Amino acid sequence: MSKYRVAPNITYLTASGYESKLDVMTPRGQDPAPTLIYIHGGGWVGGTKEASVLRALPYLEMGWAVVNVEYRMARNELAPGAVEDCRCALRWVYENAEDYNIDTSRLVVTGASAGGHLSLTTGMLPASAGLDRLCPGRDASRPGWAASDEYEMPVAAIVNWFGITDVGDLLQGVNAKSYAVAWMGSRPDRMELAKHVSPMTYVRPGLPPILTIHG
């Protein structure tokens, strides 16, 4: 018997005609497991969750569960689509933690490049940012849970592998990147939108520990 249970390609959100999916990999055990939420990179324009599967193995060996997330990219939906999707993936984890033996008090969000940026926004955004609007509603039938479209979803820590913290910096000047421009589109308010999806906007007291790795 395998040491792990794998539930692949679970649809956590349907938006813009696209089904965003995630994989759940859990160790076989009795106690709720600490859980790594992994978000792949690719400049918001490419990449797949399947390319990240091997990165889950060390965590599974240590007794962690892993949730491997995909999201809408620029070809499916411009910003803030990817940010909204990853917030909805976090909500899915909260909603389904009991079914998959996940300990929501020990959630760590991580990813590299665009995945690092999305890890930051996933773990840092307050509900008041308004980027949870597409997420399916909270399950009011679960004990201790009240129906609400807005509620906080704290994580224990965020590990950001070289993800951008100021999206606007990639839209103009010497640091401009074509993939960032492609994700933001040509809308006239794109600098305002860039601020809305930039982790730097949400720096405040009470955030979880954040490790940023650059080099």
pLDDT tens, 29-83? 879 999 999 999 999 999 999 999 999 999 999 999 999 999 999 999 999 999 9
What is the SS3 assignment for 171? coil
Nearest to 49 by CA among 131, 107, 112, 103: 112
Cα Rg for the chain, rounded, in angstroms?
A: 17
Reported pTM: 0.93
Distances 44 to 64, 70, 77, 142, 186 between C-alpha atoms, Å: 27, 11, 10, 34, 16
Question: How many structural domains does the chain have?
Answer: 1
Chain length of the chain:
215
CA quadruple 94, 98, 103, 108: dihedral positive or negative? Answer: negative
What CA–CA distance (Å, rounded) separates 211 from 158?
A: 6
Closest CA to 200 of 156, 164, 162: 164
Structural domain that includes position 157: 4-140+149-213
Q: What is the mean pLDDT of the chain?
A: 93
The domain spanning residue 28 has which CATH number? 3.40.50.1820
pLDDT tier for residue 136 given thresholds of 50, 70 and 90: confident
pLDDT at 190 over 70: yes
Apex CA 67: angle with CA 62 and CA 73, to 5°? Answer: 140
Structure tokens at 189: 């308010």
Q: Could you give the CA distance from residue 104 to residue 65 in angstroms, rounded to a whole number? A: 11
Above 60 in pLDDT, residue 145? Answer: no
